[in-house]
Structure 1
C-alpha cells in the first residue's frame, strides 16, 4: 500500500498547496499504517510544530490529512481511530508549538465537514445528471462517499464527533442514502426533529436574535455557513417525499411538516 499512500500525498499537495504537508508527517503516517511504528510515535511526529503553517491551522491540516486517508482507504479506519485518540492525549508543549491537542472542541468536526461536503457536492451533481452524462470522477466519488459514511459511523461509535455532526450524519443517512422502509421509519422522526431545531437556530441567527453556535455559526476556517441553503432546500424536498409514504405514522409526518416549515422560514430569512 506504500505506493498508493505516496500517490495520495502527491495529490493532496497539489490540491491543498497551503497545507504544506512536510515529508516527516507523510513518512510517519505511512509507517504507522504499514505497521512499522505504533500510534504513539506517529501521533508525536504529526503534532510537532512546523513553521510551514500557522499554529491556528495545524489541527485542521493534520486532522484533514487523517480524514483523507479514511475517505480513500476504508481498511485504515480502525488504525486511524486509534491514532486520533492518541493525538488527543498530547498536551501543549514546546514541541507542539504550544498547541493543546487535548483541548479538542471543533477543529476535527470542521475538518470532517469540509471533506464530507466536498464529496457530497459531487454526488449531488451526479444525482442531478440522472445518469444522462458522465461526471468526471464519478466512480471515485461514489467509493469515497461510501468510505466517508462508514468512517463517520465508526467515529460516531467511538464518541469522536460532536452532537451536531452526529445529527448531520443521521439526517444524511435518512435523506441522502438508500435506506430500507424499516430504517426510515426508525430514524425519520429524529432527523426531522434535528432539522426543525437547526432551521430555527439558523433563522434566529439570520435575524440577529441570540448568540448561536453549531448550526448557525460560520466556519472559522472557510467563513462559510456550516449548513448552506442549497443543502437545506434539498433536505426539505426529501422530507416531503419520504414523509409521504403510507408507512410513516401521523406523529412522524407531523414532525416532518414542522421541519419543512422551519426550513422554509430559515431560507426566507437567509435571502433577506
Structure 2
C-alpha cells in the first residue's frame, strides 16, 4: 500500500539558513486517497517574523510566543510521517527548512530528508502544463478546486488543497468514483447520493409480457423429451 504525506510549512522568511519554521501541516494519503488523518502544529521560531512573511500568512510574533519549540513537536511529527513519501509543492523550499531545523538539533536530530525521494507537485505541474502559471492558486483555478478560504497562507489548509491538486495532477479524483477510506487498508464504495448498499440488490426484469409469451410458445415446441425440461424441474425443486 502506498502511503504519502502531503506537506506544507510556513516560515519567518525565505532563507532557511537564518529564518525558522513556524507551522507544519500534513495530510495522510493511502493509495492517493485521503484517510482523514492530519498533522498540524505551530512552532515558536525564537526570532521575529519578517514583514514580508507576515503579509503572506498572518502569523505574528505575539501569536507564536507561547507555542512549543521545534524540538518539542518533532517526535509527534516523525511518528505521524513514519516512512511515508512526502508530497510537497516547491519541495526544495520546505525540505530546506525542515533539514535546517534537523541540523540545528545536532546529533539528536533525524537524518536529512532526501529531496530526490520527495514528490514535487510543482515539477509535476510544470511537466503537465508547460508555459503556464503553476502556483497553488492557479492550479486550483485550472482544476475547479475551491480555495475561497485561502485568504492567507496556512500550512494545514494549503496541504488540504494541495492533496486535491495532487490527485488531479495524477489524472483525476478517485473520489469521483465514490471511493472513501474509512480506515487504513479498508476501502468503502459510496455513491454520490449516500452510503453504499450492503447485500444483494433486486434487479427489475426488462422482459415484457410479449417476451414471456413468445418464450413459452418456443419451449412448448421443444417436445416432452427435451433435456432442457430436466433443468426446469431441478430449479422448481430447489
TM-score bucket of the superposed structures, by smaller chain: under 0.3
Asked which structure has the greater CA Rg, the reply is: 2
Structure with the higher helix share, 1 or 2: 1
TM-score (norm 2): 0.27
Higher relative contact order (CA 8 A, sep 6+): 2
TM-score with structure 1 length normalisation? Answer: 0.25
Q: Structure 1 or 2: larger strand share?
A: 2
